[in-house]
Structure 1
């Protein structure tokens, strides 16, 4: 039952006789006492007029004497005893304003520190009469606040490592950049070298365990004021507060050392490296830098570290940004070039050995840029790789090369045409369909098409490559492994790979002076290996008559290179073939 302040020790019937409440007052008491939440009726000065049973029960359950109304009955004083912070003082002021009729209601969530933990209460107050009396209800919302805070924490943190996620990292970096008295702010962008191999070979559970171990090591390698976060995948960022460039380099070296130690993944020891880029906002008086700018610059420096050989640390420079902007411009222009037919194909002859008859060509893409002229692949293929343009580019090459091959066949010059495919193309799973679509659109027999993929690309996903290569060969399309001898594929992969041609890398064919015997031994080994696996061998990069003679001598089936002919437009190639007639090209080139 509700109690009037000052008479809490009197029996209820005595209190009723003392105060002789009116019928309306009895109704108010009954209503307040029926409310499940702890509720008080206070006057304009904060004096407690009524406290319902739920209020006193809450004080008993919590065992918190601070919640008991003192002899003075001052609610405002009790609130200040619970918490004297600025929020409580503001709340008292708002309740006074409510009593004066200056607002219609007051609502607020506040924390009540308790030995058993923090309790959260929702206060809701309303003015009940012209005298300024106010009803104040307190509802325990600890469960709701805990759920909201947990949800908010999950939204800001990576679920695997418990580190701040991308969004929260940017918030933290921006907050630090806007701090008025801040010192230099540095960001480390880290990409784990070799993580994909571990994930692919040992499985995702091992990969997840590895990421958690990496997170712990990075956290242990940084200072107390630094923040380690995970952007996603195997990319991490470290926010280094009050840290100049030399200090950031020291931290980066410590991070590298921590990753360099072996990781134990279920009893299997794994070694990794890490490429790290550093960007620093040193001058707080300089134009405001955003977190996106700083992270982007560190990312560019990280890619420079990877390009320099991986497991390195690189500092951001303005040249990196200029180069990135140029690559972005080239990528946009290349997208338009694929659609606007600005690309052209040049074809390099392939000779059959030992007859030295031209039986095929390799299609090599060039870009007829409207302003910069004819561009070689080195000017745009790296950009195409970085911006996921290799697959649409390869589709264009397939259509153009197969169409040209059909035109040559109709002109009485049937040539087998080879087309280069990137690893990203077969990883999409559309390679077989794209080849079939090109053959169907142009009418080229599948036996006149060769699909080439580099050895290192095949090694990235040997099983997927083998499955698609087998399907292509069943349809009649030949498959070639390019640059063989330059990569790291195993003999087991080669045996399992349904390839019909091994292109011996130019580094073995174009041997240094005085190294002919060793080069010959390597080429002979590849030729023998190919024969054992049912594959023909092609010597690429033949640049001298002596190299061509060696290829013939060692039993290579095919050859191509500048000594034979340089890549040329289709009309010039037709003239070149016509000029040769049926006369074989001699090893000396005459």
Structure 2
């Protein structure tokens, strides 16, 4: 067989016809032996001519599932007629070497049929004797090859949308960054806003249908040279090739525009918006991971800016992320290291002018940066998953301090701010009951505060937990009322006993303009009336001047809190402050 292989490799006998020669009369292997092979098997002479094919080959040939081959055919020509590629040429060269010189069997997988489809066979050949005859089997492995291909595809493509997945996108971005494109490569990361609400209300099956529709719209919005992929959940990526920053932003706006028309699925019309982060390759960005990370940071900035926006990555976003990471690491250690402290701001009952309670405000005594207010680290705790641990620490500290005051004859209520994430975790009630049991504090001495906007995020869950807490004697307060735009019906139906008026309304009553002051006063009076109608007491927050204090008292507020009364103070200072205040009042009335 070695002699015809070399000319074939040079393009010799690759025409459409196939030559046939008389088969030698003395095959080295009888036909009955060949028929015992379960796989299609052929016997070739030293020139590559087919001497015999077995019954299995003939049977598959009748079904059109075998390489057309009969006694007298040239095996090399038959194979090359089916497919001429490097694998086939390697097979023929190996058969030629085996015929001429012997050696180990040839074993190779080849495709037979026009690309990209066709049958795959595992070819195995052994030399029979010194004459150079070969026994050669074709085992159909098409199903196995297709299974491997499907598995490989599943590893690189999202099963729901058939778009490239996170792994494949990383590969595509990396390949693009190393291609040497003189312009630029951009990554757009798109997050569908509030998609969780769709799954919660319409179900995950409907959510999957919506994800497919989003994928289809994005694919139509992208240019032909771009690649749309899915990171998972409701996050998509658009890999934009050959662009600068301005062009990438235009593409992002085009992607955002596909959400202008509501989606229709399962008989429902669903309006959606998207927040998009954009990052464009530059000299300092060395990898796909860097580019994707920067686009992700820009996406979070877009969501923080109010959602349904496009944000281009800037270095400040990375610096801010690094600061958050540093604060997160330090805060995790600070909780256990005793660096956190609680300060208390008094709450004044306006009719009796007595202090009846305090609000607990956590502070961080940072070893390098000094005493940090909650605005410096509480948002980081919420974003990093530390807020529940932080809140449990605050609850335990406040319960212990309040129980101590109670024992001293200072029956003060203590209010603790609760985050929406802690409310959503489902552990709030058990956490509160645990600290009450360990501290011995009576439930009526504890007030839990949740902001208006947090209540509106999940009003049913909030109402359920509020009711359970109030049954046990714990008071519940809605904080910062007037700072958001939540549904009024949800707020008034909450089983809460206190409504705290946001300081932005309170401070307006002392505005420089008479009209502004009167409008703010009317707003405060409306909230006071709303609280009274719902059986709630009202608290004016952020009262800073005697004029504001007098006005909120005249408007009917139950309590006031602010710098004009007292600034937040450590727990050990509170009894002394209360004592000195009582002495001043006694001197004034004596």
Correspondence for 1:290: 287
Secondary structure (helix, strand or coil) at the match of 2:172 reads helix
Alpha-carbon spacing, 1:79–1:217, altered in 2? closer, same or farther (3 Å): same
- 1:30-65 C-alpha deviation (Å, 9 max, x unpaired): 23223232222234543333322222333332288x
- 1:523-554 C-alpha deviation (Å, 9 max, x unpaired): 22222222222221111111222222222122
Correspondence for 2:393: 396
Tell me if the contact between 1:357 and 1:585 (Cα under 8 Å) persists in the aligned partners: no
Alpha-carbon spacing, 1:69–1:415, altered in 2? closer, same or farther (3 Å): same
The whole-number CA distance in structure 1 between the counterparts of 2:585 and 2:197 is: 48
User: What's the offset of the Cα at 1:333?
Assistant: 0.6
User: What's the offset of the Cα at 1:137?
Assistant: 1.7
Correspondence for 1:86: 86
Correspondence for 1:25: 29
Secondary structure (helix, strand or coil) at the match of 1:223 reads coil
- 1:359-405 C-alpha deviation (Å, 9 max, x unpaired): 11111111111111111112112211221111111011111111111
The whole-number CA distance in structure 2 between the counterparts of 1:44 and 1:221 is: 61
Correspondence for 1:565: 566
Which stretch has the larger CA shift, 386-395 or 307-316?
Answer: 307-316
- Where in structure 2 are there 5+ consecutive unaligned residues? 1-19
Tell me if the contact between 1:453 and 1:481 (Cα under 8 Å) persists in the aligned partners: yes
Tell me if the contact between 1:277 and 1:305 (Cα under 8 Å) persists in the aligned partners: yes
User: What's the offset of the Cα at 1:258?
Assistant: 1.1
User: What's the offset of the Cα at 1:121?
Assistant: 2.4
Normalised to the residue count of structure 1, the TM-score between the two structures is 0.89
Correspondence for 1:257: 257
Whether 2:236 is the aligned partner of 1:236: answer: yes
User: What's the offset of the Cα at 1:114?
Assistant: 8.8
Alpha-carbon spacing, 1:126–1:563, altered in 2? closer, same or farther (3 Å): farther
User: What's the offset of the Cα at 1:446?
Assistant: 0.9
- 1:421-470 C-alpha deviation (Å, 9 max, x unpaired): 11111111110111111111111111111111111111111111111111
The whole-number CA distance in structure 1 between the counterparts of 2:125 and 2:320 is: 62
Correspondence for 1:523: 524
User: What's the offset of the Cα at 1:506?
Assistant: 1.1
- 1:555-579 C-alpha deviation (Å, 9 max, x unpaired): 2111111121111111222221111
Correspondence for 2:10: none
Correspondence for 1:174: 174
The whole-number CA distance in structure 1 between the counterparts of 2:451 and 2:586 is: 28
- 1:58-102 C-alpha deviation (Å, 9 max, x unpaired): 3332288x733585x322222222111222222323333444345
Whether 2:494 is the aligned partner of 1:493: answer: no
User: What's the offset of the Cα at 1:178?
Assistant: 3.4
Correspondence for 2:198: 198
Alpha-carbon spacing, 1:426–1:121, altered in 2? closer, same or farther (3 Å): same
The whole-number CA distance in structure 2 between the counterparts of 1:545 and 1:198 is: 49
Alpha-carbon spacing, 1:113–1:539, altered in 2? closer, same or farther (3 Å): same
Normalised to the residue count of structure 2, the TM-score between the two structures is 0.89
Tell me if the contact between 1:176 and 1:182 (Cα under 8 Å) persists in the aligned partners: no
Which stretch has the larger CA shift, 414-423 or 261-270?
Answer: 261-270
Tell me if the contact between 1:113 and 1:119 (Cα under 8 Å) persists in the aligned partners: no
The whole-number CA distance in structure 1 between the counterparts of 2:453 and 2:411 is: 31
User: What's the offset of the Cα at 1:225?
Assistant: 2.2
Q: CA RMSD in A?
A: 2.7
Which stretch has the larger CA shift, 75-84 or 498-507?
Answer: 75-84
Match runs of 1:472-483 below 5 Å: 472-483=469-480
Correspondence for 1:460: 457
Secondary structure (helix, strand or coil) at the match of 1:405 reads helix
